Amino acid sequence: MRVLVVEDDVKVASFIVKGLNAAGYAVDHALDGENGLHMALTEPYDTAIIDIMLPKLDGLSLLKECERRKISTPVIILSAKASIDDRVKGLQRGGDDYLTKPFCLF
């Protein structure tokens, strides 16, 4: 299974990537939304984990662009924004699930 992680916090990204690799997943990482979009458009992924607050292109805009380009990869939104309104907005914009920081990987 191949996973795309789009997360600008290097510590958080490292934690996620190491944990998923240890569980047997192949993981690619992008530090910003533009690079994440490029990777999503050029490589097939089984799932993506996308932060909302990203440099260059925010996570919700990334989701919108993926939808516009008919990319149907399931997405887990990862965010420090924990309000119900933020969760609803993320799910309405195309996220399949919403995980708030801090979190436990397994």
Model confidence over 89-99: pLDDT tens digits? 777 777 888 78
Q: What span, in angstroms and rounded, lies between the C-alpha atoms of 21 and 32?
A: 21
pTM as predicted: 0.89
pLDDT digits (tens, 9 = 90+) for 40-89: 999 999 999 999 999 999 999 999 999 999 998 999 998 776 667 777 77
Sign of CA dihedral 53, 56, 59, 64: positive
Identity at 19, one-letter amino acid code = G
Q: What is the mean pLDDT of residues 16-35?
A: 96
Taking phi over 0 as left and psi of -120 to 50 as alpha, with beta for the rest, 56 belongs to left
Q: What span, in angstroms and rounded, lies between the C-alpha atoms of 47 and 18?
A: 16
Decide: 94 and 69 in contact? Cβ < 8 Å: no
